[in-house]
Chains A and B, each alone.
Chain A
Amino acid sequence: MTTSPAERPGTRYDIAVLGAGPAGLAAAVAAAGQGAGTVLIDAGARPGGQYWRHREGDEGALHHGWGHFRRLRRGLSAHGADYRPGHCVWHVERTEAGFTVHATREGSPRTVRAKAVIVATGAYDRQLPFPGWTTPGVFTAGAVQALLKGHGVPAGRRIAVAGTGPFLLPVAAGLAEAGVRVVGVFEAGLPTAFGRHPLATLRNLPKLAEGAGYLGTLLRHRVPYRTRTTVVAAHGTATVTGATVARLDQRWRIVPGSTREIDCDTVAVGYGFTPQTEIPLQLGCAMRRDADGSLVARVDARQRASVDGVYVAGEACGVGGAQLSAVEGELAGLHAAYATTGSAPDRRRLAGLLRRRAAQRSFAAALHRAYPVPDGWQTWLERDTTVCRCEEVTAGAIREAVDDLGATDPRAVKLYARPGMGLCQGRVCGYATTCLVARATGRRPTADDLRGMATRPIAHPLTLGALAAGDDSGGDDSGGG
């Protein structure tokens, strides 16, 4: 990309969009289309986020909604939005005049100033610990997908796909189509609840058809699909040599006598998604615990967070998939552009977006009801099962922090036993630790519990040298902060 005049240090944009997945792309295109000075900041090397992850030169053979992606990508340059790939945002600072986004690019500090920010940071696979899940060869479902879509590399030869939620299907189908042997899809839930929400189903027939398409692919490749079943242990030390699969009861406890060993060299797991919420948390936005148990930012009808000038779109305000994310992103872009430039959005366009958002959200809510995560998974764990992969903290150590040291919340457990204190800062174990502590103290997890494991003033590691160097804007504008 060329360096536009607006890219000079010290310039203030109208809108900075954080994240270039479906929500962020849609937001940036909508905002720039309204004439707002817009910058799209992303950690990836190419736009698309996790959903439209692709290799350089790949034009979409494996992707859903690729036409949509290409339209957005074209819109980005057509409307003159600045695009900044490779930027790891570590802090967003509120200033008197708006916001300063602090990032590093290849380790060097980069700052961007804007009147408003749109947080479209997406989500990553939610994980539940189980014995053997730290063995090399156990991947998140997203990792297996990213290796295949982003690099053309199958994660293994014989892959078991396990967890819960509709995302398991495209992962397994993609592998099967790429010629990998998928030994089974093990869905811990029993997703029949859709029948009880006919309206949501009708409004979203295309999405269901998509799911049916994946099931058809699995059938063609003779991939077994089992519900109320999951991988409860992985075996091997240097690499996965097999796994234990078990049937589960309604609360996800193992049905006695139902365990069996399967032959596989790879396990791909995912139990829904965890939204990336560090930026809204840094900015002090009001949060809530969503129906799927995730901490998300509260937004109003215009995608505004509780803090002036902050908009949130996509998974960070509630997991709902790529289509909902794009709708929310477009709405956020239009409203943020109106707020910063006074350029009024077309009312019919708004009305259409609102209708689609309502339909998509009711579908998302139905999905959350259809794929709950009851706490019986905690019975799969042994005392020596690792929960925090970074600091190698076991389930037993977490239990001791509650039973022996009197910890009453996840934050205290974190300070006693160190889960969530490593490099990932609790991104991977935060949900599980929260659930384990809540149950050990005889209650349900709360938004405050989740917040205790999700608050990260430094969202991304940077060197002390980069921090000390300050921003790169030439010091002409301290931003009032």
Chain B
Amino acid sequence: MTYPSSRPDVLIVGAGVVGAACAYACTAAGLRVAVVERGAAGGGTTSAGEGNILVSDKEPGPELDLALLSSRRWREISEDLGGGTVEYEAKGGVVVAGSRETADGLLRLTAGQRARGVDAVDIGPGELSELEPRVTRQAVGGAFYPQDAQVQPMLATAHLLRRARQRGAVVHTGTGVVGFVRDRRGAVTGVRTDSAEVPVVSARWVINAAGTWAGRLSRLAGAPVPVLPRKGYVLVTEPLPRVVRHKVYTAEYLANVASSDAGLETSVVVEGTRAGTVLIGASRERVGFDRGVSLPVLRTLAAQAIGLFPFLADVLLLRSYLGFRPYCPDHLPVIGADPRAPGLLHACGHEGAGVGLAAATGHLLAQHLTGERPDLDLTPFRPDRFEEATA
């Protein structure tokens, strides 16, 4: 199949949550869309995520603006898809400060976030235990973020793609990109694949939404973006009644998200799910694509989770999974057209916030492609910013 009469406007490489959100937004804007995915839809980092849609963990700056836009878009999308089908839940986030010093830092952060439009409520120990009755009594305070929400990432991806298909999109799974097709002037006009059924897919634009493999794909296109893997684990407990009501994490998590430290960082994030299981994340480790399970990391996560919620000591751990967050050295995603390769756009490098930022990413690219003025300035996310930094 080579789209003889109906060449798609947009070819999206990658059917993770970001690619799916791009397909959803582009088809909504009236564009013809094709998606190629080397494995199964959502089979990469999306399948290893918790589905966070957070504003709480971002410092004031372009990523926070993106997160706020995305949080609004997710609400609309989940209404369109049916909130139940994607398990959208505006559960709210609770950040716990273990010391006076951390609490003071948190106060400064929430003040800055409020100035950018975040609904952030400073809370004392009393309010904290009202919000989370089982949380440690050692906490000195914290913050409550009613805007923080969650979806089930695999279901969200599947339903985004499903809606895109209903609007005419074609999705080819098990189809890996092996090269790019260019016209005489060097503009990207499609991709070559490893599939005999669709050896070539042509399109007016190609979007790189290849997640952790986006760096490799960008090099294939001769327009490299430095996307690297940052390994993380999630522990899953036995099913429980609703004990942990919000997404609860330690204030130290905020430092780790933005950190460039090469070693292992763990700062625990604990939350309940509709299925009853409690999820415990989130370590960050730079060890390439090593899929080996590191018990010391699991132990540290378990110990920190118990520190936050002491009752967890007697709760059974059922399983663990791991994944690779695609991150860029400056911890900002790459969103927009690549001036080095006309016709190529990027939607990658979202690190641990791919689900949360996907909705805005797709929305902004669709606006860009249809000639609409994007709701946000894309300059901070431009693909060629890393060359300037090294030049």
User: Do A409 and B321 contact each other (CB < 8 Å), given the known contacts A457-B293, A464-B305?
Assistant: no
A404-431, CB under 8 A of B: which get 1 and which 0?
Answer: 1111110110011010011101000000
- Which among A93, A415, A416, A462 is the interface contact of B317 at CB below 8 angstroms? A462
Chain A residues with CB below 8 A from B366, complex form: none
A422 to B236, CA, bound (A): 10
B32-74, CB under 8 A of A: which get 1 and which 0?
Answer: 0000000011110001000000000000000000000000000
Contact B314–A463 (Cβ < 8 Å): yes
Q: Chain A interface: which of B88-96, B154-162, B244-252, B253-261? A: B154-162
Q: Quick check: is A91 within 8 A (CB to CB) of the other chain?
A: yes
User: Do A464 and B315 contact each other (CB < 8 Å), given the known contacts A411-B43, A412-B154?
Assistant: yes
Q: Quick check: is A465 within 8 A (CB to CB) of the other chain?
A: yes
Q: Quick check: is B136 within 8 A (CB to CB) of the other chain?
A: no
- Which among A421, A461, A468 is the interface contact of B313 at CB below 8 angstroms? A468
A416 to B162, CA, bound (A): 13
Contact B238–A464 (Cβ < 8 Å): no
| Nearest CB in chain B to that of A467: its residue | B302
- Which among B42, B295, B312, B318 is the interface contact of A91 at CB below 8 angstroms? B295
A415 to B17, CA, bound (A): 14
Contact A457–B320 (Cβ < 8 Å): yes
User: Do A468 and B275 contact each other (CB < 8 Å), given the known contacts A406-B161, A416-B158, A463-B315?
Assistant: no
Contact B174–A408 (Cβ < 8 Å): yes
B295-310, CB under 8 A of A: which get 1 and which 0?
Answer: 1001100110110000
Chain A residues with CB below 8 A from B40, complex form: 407-409, 411-412
A438-481, CB under 8 A of B: which get 1 and which 0?
Answer: 00000000000000000011100111110110100000000001
A68 to B291, CA, bound (A): 42
Q: Quick check: is A102 within 8 A (CB to CB) of the other chain?
A: yes
Q: How far is the CB of A6 from chain B (nearest CB, A)?
A: 23
Contact A416–B314 (Cβ < 8 Å): no
| Nearest CB in chain B to that of A459: its residue | B319
Contact residue range for chain B?
35 or more
Q: Quick check: is A244 within 8 A (CB to CB) of the other chain?
A: no
Q: Quick check: is A362 within 8 A (CB to CB) of the other chain?
A: no
Q: Quick check: is A282 within 8 A (CB to CB) of the other chain?
A: yes
Contact B238–A93 (Cβ < 8 Å): no
Contact residue range for chain A?
20 to 34
User: Do A416 and B154 contact each other (CB < 8 Å), given the known contacts A404-B162, A408-B40, A457-B293?
Assistant: yes
| Nearest CB in chain B to that of A481: its residue | B295
Q: Quick check: is B28 within 8 A (CB to CB) of the other chain?
A: no
Q: Quick one: which of B271-288 are within 8 Å of A by CB? A: 275, 280
Which of A102, A405, A422, A467 has most chain B Cβ within 10 Å? Answer: A467
Q: Quick check: is B29 within 8 A (CB to CB) of the other chain?
A: no
Which of B155, B174, B316 has most chain A Cβ within 10 Å? Answer: B316
Q: Quick check: is B171 within 8 A (CB to CB) of the other chain?
A: yes
Q: How far is the CB of A451 from chain B (nearest CB, A)?
A: 13
A405 to B302, CA, bound (A): 34
B15-32, CB under 8 A of A: which get 1 and which 0?
Answer: 000000000000000000
Chain A residues with CB below 8 A from B235, complex form: 464
Q: Quick check: is B237 within 8 A (CB to CB) of the other chain?
A: yes
B87-126, CB under 8 A of A: which get 1 and which 0?
Answer: 0000000000000000000000000000000000000000
A463 to B306, CA, bound (A): 11
Q: How far is the CB of B228 from chain A (nearest CB, A)?
A: 23
Contact A415–B42 (Cβ < 8 Å): yes
User: Do A416 and B313 contact each other (CB < 8 Å), given the known contacts A102-B295, A282-B293, A458-B319?
Assistant: no
A407 to B42, CA, bound (A): 10
Contact A464–B313 (Cβ < 8 Å): yes
Contact B295–A406 (Cβ < 8 Å): no
Q: Quick check: is B173 within 8 A (CB to CB) of the other chain?
A: yes
Chain B residues with CB below 8 A from A408, complex form: 40-41, 173-174
Contact A456–B317 (Cβ < 8 Å): no
A439 to B334, CA, bound (A): 40
Contact A463–B316 (Cβ < 8 Å): yes
B137-180, CB under 8 A of A: which get 1 and which 0?
Answer: 00000000000000000110011011001000001011000000
Chain A residues with CB below 8 A from B299, complex form: 467-468, 470
A21-49, CB under 8 A of B: which get 1 and which 0?
Answer: 00000000000000000000000000000
Contact B42–A412 (Cβ < 8 Å): yes
User: Do A467 and B298 contact each other (CB < 8 Å), given the known contacts A412-B42, A412-B154, A425-B318?
Assistant: yes
Contact A406–B275 (Cβ < 8 Å): no
Contact B313–A458 (Cβ < 8 Å): no
Contact B315–A423 (Cβ < 8 Å): no
- Which among B155, B159, B171, B306 is the interface contact of A468 at CB below 8 angstroms? B306
Contact B317–A463 (Cβ < 8 Å): yes
Contact A421–B154 (Cβ < 8 Å): no
A91 to B320, CA, bound (A): 12
A284 to B293, CA, bound (A): 11
A284 to B312, CA, bound (A): 30
Chain B residues with CB below 8 A from A470, complex form: 299
| Nearest CB in chain B to that of A91: its residue | B295
Contact B318–A464 (Cβ < 8 Å): no
Contact B316–A93 (Cβ < 8 Å): no
Chain A residues with CB below 8 A from B239, complex form: 422
Chain B residues with CB below 8 A from A409, complex form: 40, 43
Q: How far is the CB of B289 from chain A (nearest CB, A)?
A: 14
Which of A404, A415, A425 has most chain B Cβ within 10 Å? Answer: A415
Q: How far is the CB of A113 from chain B (nearest CB, A)?
A: 13
Which of A94, A421, A464 has most chain B Cβ within 10 Å? Answer: A464
Contact B317–A461 (Cβ < 8 Å): yes
6 residue pairs of the A-B complex, CB under 8 angstroms, read: A409-B43, A412-B40, A462-B317, A463-B314, A464-B312, A470-B299
Hey, which bits of chain A sit against chain B, CB under 8 A? 91, 93-94, 102, 282, 284, 391, 404-409, 411-412, 415-416, 418, 421-423, 425, 456-458, 461-465, 467-468, 470, 481
Instruction: Supply 10 further A-B pairs (C-beta < 8 A) apart from A464-B317, A465-B302, A467-B299.
Output: A406-B161, A406-B165, A412-B154, A425-B319, A461-B316, A463-B313, A464-B315, A465-B312, A465-B314, A468-B299
Those 6 A-B pairs whose CB atoms lie nearest each other, nearest first: A465-B313, A405-B158, A468-B303, A468-B302, A415-B154, A461-B316
Hey, which bits of chain B sit against chain A, CB under 8 A? 40-43, 47, 154-155, 158-159, 161-162, 165, 171, 173-174, 235, 237-239, 275, 280, 292-293, 295, 298-299, 302-303, 305-306, 312-322
